[in-house]
Amino acid sequence: VGSTKIALSLDDRYLALGSMNCVVVMDAITLQPVASTQLGINYVTSLLFRRDGLLILATKESRSEGPSGIQAWDWRTKTTLKTVYPPLEGQSRPTWELSQSADGERIAMLSRAFPATLVIWDRELQHEVGRLQLQVESASREDFIGVALSPDGSRAVTVSRFNTNVQVWDTVRSSLLLNLPDTDGHTSVVGFNRFGQIITGRWSGGVTIWDSGYPTPPISR
């Protein structure tokens, strides 16, 4: 609960730190605070800077019965623009981990509850555009699940410590596209590079690079 989450803005100018009860945005060069917000009894489980500089926060109440939500916060005007509570069947307070597509149009929300669920929303948090039940072999809470979106958000790759397969999903049709077999589990660190290849860390050490067969043109920043 007390661990600090960190995110760097895409222009490398600002650093956001989220923990129990608050979020602080700092100048990445001087490390001087430029904005902050109090979260009350909430704590941050994940955060990221959107391409336009807004912060997207995944929060969870410290109370056992409290909800989990995703919020868009404009730290420059100190305004909360939107808060959503993505529903999960049988889960009233999931722990969300966030990632986004390189074009900034899709936000991925990975539920750490089991069975693991990947939910895709539009950048404005106006509506859900896709949902996937992830095929994880073990229901152990010690598993580590990682997810990344392709630059345009139409593909997702998921990895797991206990499921050695690397899986590529169609987020538009909510279906499994590729099941890439491996002999070792993977860490939660995974991503697409600009050539469309998938790079993921191996649990025993090192990395694996897969050719996904999915061309991904460079995204201008």
Write the DSSP string, the chain: --PPEEEE-TTS-EEEEE-EEEEEEEETTT--EEEEEEEEEEEEEEEEE-TTS-EEEEEEESSTT--EEEEEEETTTTEEEEEE---BTTBSSPPEEEEE-TTSSEEEEEE-SSS-EEEEEETTSS-EEEEEE---S---TT--EEEEE-TTSSEEEEEESS---EEEEETTTTEEEEEE--SS-EEEEEEE-TTSEEEEEETTSSEEEEE-S---PPPP-
What is the pLDDT at residue 51?
92
pTM: 0.80
Model pLDDT for residues 153-205, shown as the tens digit of each residue: 888 888 888 778 888 888 888 888 888 888 888 887 888 887 778 898 888 88
Task: Report whether pLDDT(34) > 80.
Answer: yes
What is the pLDDT at residue 221?
33
Average pLDDT score over residue span 109-125: 84
